[in-house]
Chains A and B, each alone.
Chain A
């Protein structure tokens, strides 16, 4: 029990971020029209590609010569990039189509 309370106290900033982000995430897309469900999903998909930052940090810390870790890290950065770049480009392509009819 005390370890949990201790943990809460030490990481209270992070916990605030999490709680507020949850509410924000729900509020922010509250009244999205169904037309935009697909682009919104695709855009959100690109945003969680932020995981790539973790991959970059991991990669940048691997000691030279540790090839197993280097290769896994390389894969992680590669996949993360695919997620981010592909996600944003696909979303833009979808939304571009909505725009030009007028």
Chain B
């Protein structure tokens, strides 16, 4: 009876995951979809705790299970509620790493469990009663889970700025060798497991962790969303390995669904940046670009705050282009205030959102939504490009590569071919940046040297505050 009920719980879980994912990919139903999936998860977890049986015996150690669940829930809710909107990508990466670690730990315990008698009886013969498939699931879960864990932690550190890019000569080769080593050693162990070779299990663990670190370290900060999405699908596969191990349908469907959907999502993200996944993983921006790019020379001009204020308040139409600089400066609220003041003066204000502006696809939408910016004011790239011609002033806030005309005009440029916001079609362009330093791609931006462009240096938040004050006093 209990087991039948549990099967029903798992069926409900699997269905809610599918329905939830489906609803998550449509704007109107997304929030409900998340709740549907959460509901299915709760049913599956509660069902497992109370109904799971093995050889007619239920689970025990309830006090341990519940204390872990309660502590985890409290920390998880607090972390998720407290985090600033700008730090969202890091947190997702961190949670993903936790899932990977969980999968790896399961493999460790299971491995210890089924090889337990080795250490007691010191049997030197390979185990025959445990099928290879079980070992295969354990090792796969261990490798994928640890890579996902180590990689996610590095991605987390990179996004919050505590870990810098790092690479050494021959790192690609070293990585591949390390990866092949971990796989080969696992294969060897699966076939030849004896009491003497048991400790090698931990060598596989360490090799996987090191691989995870080295795999993510050289990848540039702006590509982290793609990497997180990829690691996300890895963790999905690691969860599915657990599903194999326990013959557990909900873990299987949940894990494989996320593995497949995550991989597709990763590819979609790459497409939005007009790059291939391989290019993201192997080539870092700027490293491969030779000296053949068109040199960007000339002088730029600065604009005084009062001039920028005049320019914008007497315009008919202003389009704001937000970028990473806005996110870093936490300037979304003051940006919304600027929009309201300009609207009061009869200026038509819109936002142009590049699909990969910020540090995650959709990052800008989330940030501006947090500041209560009207959804109708956000233009997607194609719509914005149609409107720039009739725009008087474009205000760029900390965006760089997504407005670089080299992507259209210079085939030698590393970002050539990436779709951009064609801001140079507007009458005037005002660029707010902290300095003339190049953006993430590490290339100069010819836009800044054009006659119609003027620079407004400073932190986005400070500059906008002054700009708002200036316009108010006019």
Contact = CB atoms under 8 A, between A and B. Distances in A.
Interface of A: 3, 7, 11, 14, 17-18, 21-26, 28-62, 64, 68-70, 72-102
Interface stretch (B109-117, B161-169, B194-202): B109-117
Given A35-B380, A49-B239, A57-B52, 9 more contacts: A31-B25, A32-B268, A38-B92, A38-B360, A41-B228, A47-B17, A49-B99, A51-B99, A98-B369
Contact of B265 (A32, A33, A98): A32
B245 interface: yes
A22 B79 contact: no
Interface stretch (B64-72, B274-282, B461-469): B64-72
Contact of A48 (B67, B73, B99, B269): B99
B256 A22 contact: yes
B207 to A, nearest CB: 20
A68 B113 CA distance: 11
Contacts, number: 376
Given A36-B25, A79-B99, A69 B113 contact: yes
Interface residues of B, number: 116
Interface in B45-102: 45, 48-49, 52, 54, 58-62, 64-65, 67-69, 71-73, 75-77, 79-81, 83, 85, 88-89, 91-92, 95-96, 98-99, 101-102
Nearest to B372: A101
A86 B112 contact: no
Given A38-B360, A48-B255, A86-B80, A56 B99 contact: no
A24 B374 CA distance: 34
A60 B57 CA distance: 10
Contacts of A56: 45, 48-49, 52, 59, 65
A78 B343 CA distance: 50
A27 B34 CA distance: 18
B68 A74 contact: yes
B64 A73 contact: yes
Given A17-B249, A36-B25, A60-B65, A73 B109 contact: yes
A15 to B, nearest CB: 10
Contacts of A79: 72, 98-99, 101-102, 105
Contacts of B380: 34-35
B256 A17 contact: yes
Interface centre among A30, A41, A64, A81, by most B CB within 10 Å? Answer: A41
B238 A51 contact: yes
A53 B251 contact: yes
Interface stretch (B35-43, B175-183, B452-460): B35-43
User: Sorted from nearest, which 5 A-B pairs have the closest CB atoms?
Assistant: A60-B59, A81-B72, A25-B260, A85-B76, A54-B242
B373 interface: yes
